[in-house]
A and B are shown apart, each in its own frame.
Chain A
């Protein structure tokens, strides 16, 4: 077993995903199966290291510093789940968590 229930709960918290007890068992099994499967990458001879690869352009093209936002066909109010006085609102964070 590469993945334990604790691992699943740990990454679920990092990913802010609720995982209920009923599905924890199944999910742990599936994740273990997936991680076991991808772990075969370890079998590749270690002398075969290389730099990472991205198929896009070799260098990023920069944008001129011009104020030209992509227009919104409708304002945030049209899609926000909750907004007051133009501000998105969510339940308050613990006061000491603000950084």
Chain B
């Protein structure tokens, strides 16, 4: 199929899927322009592939809103490195995808443009914050999409939606053009219908970028070497990720996958990551602290929607622009982040969390140093939950990240693949690899994918 044909068919599917509320800006005309450019490039690893792009990744051709009213009408004058690289590989931007405002959330309910519906059941959430990208892949609208992870925002919706979600090692993919949320955590990440397709997208966008001082000076990720089994691989099962009160369906799904890993020749060993219990509180100190500073630039002075006219007062302009422009979750994080950095509290919260972060990273390093190649865990503590279920209690929502955010704090590569279903809803299993071992992780997931009964009921 030529890029133009793909573009036309993608536009038809986007129109048909409008009910999911998964897209923000897109148009058949822009898609046609993308197709023309892809045809001019000719060959390429992503030739003719149409991808959804989470709307916190800037593109110069259309608005970038971060699903926030504060960026209403904003059109970036530059394009993210990841998008430039997608296009250079022959890929096309199909649409900008809906998200939790500024990627803050785990359900894609916190969008100024309305919540995203789960493709299998409109009453459920698709997970978040990259819920729009996930829903579009799960619904078969696009084969792959860019999302972003700060603390599980790709793996968790991938798990809820029954698709593959890959978070690369921190610093493998440039953040230039990703609207910063938690700068030491943020990773542009990939959704795909298969491991192999996700890997191709990740390979295309990875590698050093002189515009991002936190990328490593490395070549782009090389295509992984396919394997036929998992012989010789030691897979660790961190006991803290399999608590006694783990949801029985999730446990059943994991047990089935563990059995498969063994059948494929992997050696399974129990390991301990003793600081795991501190991961979520650590994350919810560091992430808001970084977010509070990162979102200070949205002040209505240089761009974005301004709430007070020139006859007003500057402080009123700031406070109204930010107070009305940001939604409730964003404001909560900014306030918490400001609090933990403020005089008198810095040591107790921010400095403390920084130290715990080191322990969390060391936990993983120790496990890998003891001879484990990969870790396997559930991705989420439950399958997709109902819309509105967790919006009343922010902490309950944060706990949806319990199995994903330690990895983000440690900067490690991890992915979620569908490992079965419970009452028709997907369950995700998580693989975690040592730093910069993204390729080995993808190769193992690829084998698993070929043998897993991803759509079968686990009990």
Contact = CB atoms under 8 A, between A and B. Distances in A.
Complex A–B touching at CB under 8 A: yes
Interface of A: 3, 7-8, 10-12, 14-20, 27, 30-31, 33-35, 37-42, 44, 48-57, 60-61, 63, 70-76, 78-82, 88-93
Given A55-B170, A80-B303, A41 B352 contact: yes
A19 B77 CA distance: 32
The listed residue with most A CB atoms (<10 A of its CB), out of B278, B335, B349, B394, is B335
Interface residues of B, number: 82
Contacts of A81: 300-306
A55 B278 CA distance: 18
A11 B314 CA distance: 18
A98 to B, nearest CB: 12
Given A17-B331, A18-B322, A57 B306 contact: no
Interface stretch (B336-344, B377-385, B441-449): B336-344
B317 A34 contact: no
A42 B282 CA distance: 11
Interface in B326-360: 326, 331-332, 334-336, 338-340, 342, 348-349, 351-360
Most buried by B among A7, A44, A60: A44
B292 interface: yes
A27 B332 contact: yes
B74 interface: yes
A51 to B, nearest CB: 6
A60 B213 contact: yes
A88 B302 contact: yes
Contact of B184 (A15, A50, A55): A55
B359 A33 contact: no
Contacts of A73: 60, 76-79
A30 B288 CA distance: 14
Nearest to A64: B210
A78 B332 CA distance: 31
Interface of B: 60, 74-79, 169-171, 184, 210-211, 213-217, 275, 278, 281-282, 284-285, 292, 296, 299-306, 308, 310-320, 322-324, 326, 331-332, 334-336, 338-340, 342, 348-349, 351-362, 393-395, 398, 409-412, 435
A33 to B, nearest CB: 6
Contacts of A79: 74-75, 77, 302-304
A35 B359 contact: no
A57 B216 contact: yes
Which of A33, A34, A71 gathers the greatest number of chain B CB atoms within 10 Å?
Answer: A34
9 contacts: A8-B335, A40-B278, A55-B169, A57-B215, A61-B217, A74-B77, A81-B301, A88-B302, A91-B317
Contacts of A8: 335
A11 B359 contact: no
A53 B281 contact: no
Contacts of A92: 314
B187 to A, nearest CB: 9
A50 B355 contact: yes
A54 B184 contact: yes
Given A41-B352, A50-B356, 16 more contacts: A3-B339, A17-B331, A27-B332, A31-B339, A38-B349, A41-B282, A41-B285, A48-B355, A48-B359, A51-B355, A55-B412, A56-B171, A61-B213, A74-B77, A81-B303, A91-B313
A47 B130 CA distance: 38
Nearest to B184: A54
Given A55-B411, A74-B75, A90-B314, A17 B334 contact: yes
A55 B358 CA distance: 10
Given A11-B338, A56-B184, A82-B310, A41 B356 contact: yes
Contacts of A63: 210
Given A34-B394, A56-B171, A88-B302, A50 B358 contact: yes
Contacts of A18: 319-320, 322-324
B312 A34 contact: no
A5 B398 CA distance: 23
Contact of A53 (B210, B306, B331, B358): B358
